[in-house]
Amino acid sequence: MTHAVDVEGYLHHRAWPGREPVLRQRVSPTAGEQARELFTRGIRRVVFTEPVALAGSAGRDALDLLRELGAWGVRVEWTATEVPPGWEPFGHLPPPRRTSAAAEEWHARFHPGKCVFRQGPGFLQVRDRRSGVLDCYTIEEPHLQDTVHRLAGGADPRECDPDAVALFAEHGLLVRAGSLAWWAPARLRRWPVPAMVM
């Protein structure tokens, strides 16, 4: 069961004093569609009004939206309920507010495009730099590609191919934290930095 979280949307990426949000809405279980809609409507900064949990299934929808907004290059402001030891599997997400030493480290180590996937003709590629080195996975099997798209679309891992889910979890692409099982890589929407860096 997920916890309801609201977000506020702003047209400018900077936080101008006194500026009111142009919209408020509840985080959707279809984060990809919600992020696309926000970006299309001109939203360039999103503020989460409640803390987001990094462990437990209650925060999965909010984590999905953080991942997808980052893929669109939307500035995100949010607070983690706690930044626990071993936060690195979430380190590709836009970092939370600086409320602890761990959050400060998250800011220092963050860069865009840290864990992404893209669809090619007949294959899917995942590029993961969360460990500090590049891990690159090329997925050609149709059933694995289908599972990736389902997980990235917000499907519950328990409703997906268990062998595929186990394989992705083994490589850290499916993050497990407490009762949370969460697909980490963001679909690459645009190159955030020169392509050679990626």
Q: What is the mean pLDDT of residues 11-24?
A: 84
Distance of CA 33 to the CA centre of its chain: 13
- How much is the mean pLDDT over the chain? 91
One-letter amino acid of 40: T
CA–CA–CA angle 143, 146, 149 (5° rounding)? 155
Going by pLDDT thresholds of 50, 70 and 90, the confidence category of residue 196 is: very low
| pLDDT score of 179 more than 50 | yes
Percent of the chain with pLDDT over 70: 94
Taking a C-beta distance cutoff of 8 angstroms, is the pair 126, 145 a contact? no
Q: Which helix (H) or strand (E) holds 164?
A: helix 162-170
Q: Which two tokens stand for residue 185?
A: 């890589």
Q: What is the mean pLDDT of residues 73-82?
A: 94
What pLDDT, on a 0 to 100 scale, did the predictor assign at position 19?
81
What pLDDT, on a 0 to 100 scale, did the predictor assign at position 198?
46
DSSP secondary structure code for residue 20 in this structure: P
In whole angstroms, give the CA distance from residue 60 to residue 62: 5
Single out the residue of 35, 37, 88, 85 nearest to residue 62, CA to CA. Answer: 35
Pairing mode, strands 135-139 and 23-26? unpaired
What pLDDT, on a 0 to 100 scale, did the predictor assign at position 192?
56
Higher-confidence residue: 72 or 13? 72
Higher-confidence residue: 78 or 12? 78
Q: What is the mean pLDDT of residues 139-167?
A: 95
What pLDDT, on a 0 to 100 scale, did the predictor assign at position 181?
93
Give the start-to-end residue ranges of the domains of the chain.
6-109, 115-197
Residues 85-137: pLDDT tens digits? Answer: 889 999 999 999 999 999 999 999 999 999 999 999 999 999 999 999 999 99
